[in-house]
A and B are shown apart, each in its own frame.
Chain A
Amino acid sequence: MINIPSTFRIAFRALKVNKMRSALTMLGIIIGVGAVIAMLAVGTGASKKIADQISSMGSNLIMILPGATTAGGVRMGAGTQPTLTMGDAEAIQKECLAVSDVAPVLSGVAQVVFGHQNWSTGVVGTTQSMLIVRNWQLAAGKSFTEQDVKSATKVCLLGQSVVDNLFGDMNPVGQFIRIKNVPFIVIGILTPKGQSAQGQDQDDTILIPVTTAQKKLFGTSFPGMVRTIMVKAKSTEDLAPAEKQITELLKQRHHIGPKQDNDFTVRNLTQIMQTAEQSTKVMTILLGAIASVSLLVGGIGIMNIMLVSVTERTREIGIRMAIGAKIWDIRLQFIIEALTLSLIGGVAGIIFGISGSELISTLAGWTTIISPLSILLAFGFSGMVGIFFGFYPAYKASLLDPIDALRYE
Chain B
Amino acid sequence: MAIIEAQEITKVYRLGDIDLNALNGVSLRIEKGEFVAVMGPSGSGKSTFMNILGCLDKPTNGNYFLENIDIGDLNRDELAAIRNKKIGFIFQGFNLLPRTSAIENVELPMLYDGISLKERRQRAMASLKSVGLEGREDHHPNQLSDGQQQRVAIARALVNDAPIILADEPTGNLDSKTSADIMELFVKLNTKSKITIILVTHETDIAAYSKRIIKFLDGRIISDEQKKRL
Contacts and interface: CB of A to CB of B under 8 A. Distances in A.
A323 interface: yes
A329 B81 CA distance: 12
A327 B76 contact: yes
Given A17-B99, A322-B56, A322-B89, A3 B77 contact: no
A406 B114 CA distance: 23
Contacts of B160: 324
Interface string A1-35: 11101100000010001000000000000000000
Interface in A308-342: 315-316, 318-327, 329
A74 to B, nearest CB: 87
Interface string B104-131: 0000110111100100000000000000
Contacts of B54: 322
Contacts of B112: 2, 320, 323-326, 329
A403 interface: yes
B109 A402 contact: no
B173 interface: no
Nearest to A398: B76
B211 interface: no
B51 A323 contact: no
Interface in B57-97: 57, 76-77, 80-81, 83-85, 89, 91, 95-97
Nearest to A405: B56
B156 interface: yes
Nearest to B51: A403
Task: Report which residue of B77, B81, B85, B114 has the largest number of chain A beta carbons within 10 angstroms of its beta carbon.
Answer: B77
Contact of A320 (B57, B99, B108): B108
A6 to B, nearest CB: 6
B66 to A, nearest CB: 14
Given A3-B111, A17-B99, A324 B84 contact: yes
Interface residues of B, number: 28
A327 B83 CA distance: 13
A3 B115 CA distance: 9
Contact of A6 (B96, B98, B109, B117): B117
A2 B111 contact: yes
A322 B57 CA distance: 11
Contacts, number: 62
B57 A6 contact: no
A321 B97 CA distance: 12
A245 B84 CA distance: 84
A325 B56 CA distance: 12
A319 B95 contact: yes
Contacts of A320: 108, 112
A321 B114 contact: no
B108 to A, nearest CB: 6
Contact of B80 (A13, A316, A325): A325
Contacts of B111: 2-3, 6
Contact of B84 (A323, A327, A402): A323
Contact of A402 (B56, B77, B99, B114): B56
Contacts of B83: 322-324
A318 B85 CA distance: 17
Given A2-B111, A6-B111, A323 B156 contact: yes
A186 to B, nearest CB: 76
Interface in A33-79: none
Interface of A: 1-3, 5-6, 13, 17, 315-316, 318-327, 329, 402-403, 406
Given A6-B111, A324-B160, 4 more contacts: A3-B114, A322-B95, A324-B83, A326-B80
Interface of B: 51, 54, 56-57, 76-77, 80-81, 83-85, 89, 91, 95-100, 108-109, 111-114, 117, 156, 160
7 closest Cβ pairs, A-B complex: A324-B84, A324-B112, A326-B77, A323-B109, A326-B80, A319-B95, A402-B56
28 contacts: A1-B114, A2-B114, A13-B99, A13-B100, A17-B99, A315-B95, A316-B97, A318-B95, A319-B96, A320-B112, A322-B54, A322-B83, A322-B89, A323-B83, A323-B84, A323-B109, A323-B112, A323-B156, A324-B109, A324-B113, A324-B160, A325-B80, A325-B112, A326-B81, A327-B76, A327-B80, A329-B80, A406-B56
